[in-house]
Amino acid sequence: MRRCPSSVLHLMRYVRLRSCARRGKNRLPLWIRETWSYIKLLVQSLCFNSLTDSDVIFDSIFEPVFWTVDYVTRWFGMVFVCLVVILTTSILVIAYVVLLPLILNTYSPPWIAWHICYGHWNLIMIAFHYYKAAKTSPGYPPMEKNDTPFVSVCKKCIMPKPARTHHCGICNRCILKMDHHCPWLNNCVGHFNHRYFFSFCLFMTLGCVYCSISGRNLFLDAYSALETNYQTPAPAYTFKDKVINKSIIYMWVLTSTVGVALGALTIWHAILISRGETSIERHINSKETERMAKWGKVYKNPFNYGKLNNWKIFFGVEKRSHWVTRVLLPSGHTPHSDGLTWSSMLWMVCSLLGLI
Q: So which residues are the catalytic ones?
A: 182
Q: CA 193, CA 137: separation in Å to the nearest integer?
A: 7
Collapsing DSSP to helix, strand or coil, 233 comes out as: coil
Q: Residue 181: beta bridge partners? A: 188
Closest CA to 327 of 116, 85, 128, 114: 128
Q: CA 57, CA 271: separation in Å to the nearest integer?
A: 32
Q: What are phi and psi of 187, to 5 degrees?
A: -160, 155
Q: What are phi and psi of 340, to 5 degrees?
A: -95, -45
Question: DSSP character for 182?
Answer: E
Collapsing DSSP to helix, strand or coil, 146 comes out as: coil
Neighbours of 27 (CB within 10 A): 10
Q: Residue 317: beta bridge partners? A: none
Q: CA 255, CA 267: separation in Å to the nearest integer?
A: 17
Angle at 199 between CA 195 and CA 202, to 5 degrees: 145
Rg, the chain, Cα only: 32
Cα separation of the two ends of the chain: 107
Strands (E), the chain: 152-153, 160-161, 166-168, 173-175, 180-182, 187-189
Amino acid identity of residue 311, one-letter, is W
Strands (E), 184-314: 187-189
Q: Cβ-count burial of 48 within 10 angstroms (0-12 exposed, 13-18 middle, 19+ buried)?
A: exposed
